[in-house]
Amino acid sequence: MLSLDEKYELAVLARSRSYSVYSKFAVGAVCILKSGEYVLGCNVENASYGLCNCAERTALFSLIANGYDPKDVVEMVIIADTTKPVSPCGACREVMKELLNEDVVVTLFNLNKDVKVLKVKDLLPYAFDEGDLNE
């Protein structure tokens, strides 16, 4: 079990790897697995702006690509240089809702270590999901 300080430090490490040459807005994300292992993610931008990938999705896609099961994630930690703890974008909320268990804890930080803790199920009410494909 990681302490709040350890989660913050891991998220800062993830953020330090950000490739955000266009927005200069670096974001870090960490997926923590029930085994205690973790996978880091950062935002990766592109001169074709629409191709930018958020830190949260980088972490989740890396996790899958490296053979982990997203259902084994127990917590996600996200950080950016924001006034309040960072707010994950809508696209990432959809991806988190799709891949993670609804009770996964989401810990949001800013660089001042202000923190907000909620759950995946709190992030996106009335989400589009696989059930909508079958109606």
Given the rule CB under 6 A, which residues bind ligand THU? Answer: 20, 23, 25, 27, 43, 45, 52, 54-56, 88-89, 92
| Closer residue to ligand THU in complex, CB, 25/61 | 25
94, exposed or middle or buried, with CB in 10 Å at 0-12, 13-18, 19+? Answer: middle
Q: Please give the structure tokens belonging to residue 96.
A: 């988190």
The catalytic residue among 9, 37, 45, 56 is: 56
Contacts of 50 (CB under 8 A, 6+ apart): none
Q: Please give the structure tokens belonging to residue 110.
A: 């800013």
| Closer residue to ligand THU in complex, CB, 48/134 | 48
Pairing of strands 105-110, 115-119: antiparallel
Residue 104 CB, shortest distance to ligand THU, in Å, is 16
Whether 98 is catalytic: no
| Closer residue to ligand THU in complex, CB, 35/82 | 82
Active site residues: 56
